[in-house]
Amino acid sequence: MIEGDATFTIDGVSRHLKVGDYYFIGSNVTHAVVPGPGGIIGLDVFGPPREDYLPRE
């Protein structure tokens, strides 16, 4: 989390995250996020890269 706070539910387990916290979501794992009242700015990193996020020509 870069800014804000949010509640993440990953594979049925909820966790409140704030600035500086991180999370891991495995492939094909059910997940949801409820941002706090001020919204959030986060950084997503995918490995390997997701084909559906790559630029199209």
| Sequence ranges of the domains in the chain | 3-53
Q: What is the pLDDT of residues 33-55, one digit of tens each?
A: 999 999 999 998 888 888 888 88
* Strand 31-41 relative to strand 13-17, pairing: unpaired
The reported pTM is: 0.76
Q: With contact defined as beta carbons under 8 Å apart, do 42 and 23 qualify?
A: no
Q: With contact defined as beta carbons under 8 Å apart, do 3 and 36 qualify?
A: no
Q: What is the pLDDT of residue 42?
A: 92
Tokens found for residue 53:
């996020």
Phi-psi bin for 14: left (phi > 0), alpha (psi -120 to 50), beta? beta
Sheet order of strands, 13-17 included: 13-17, 3-10, 31-41
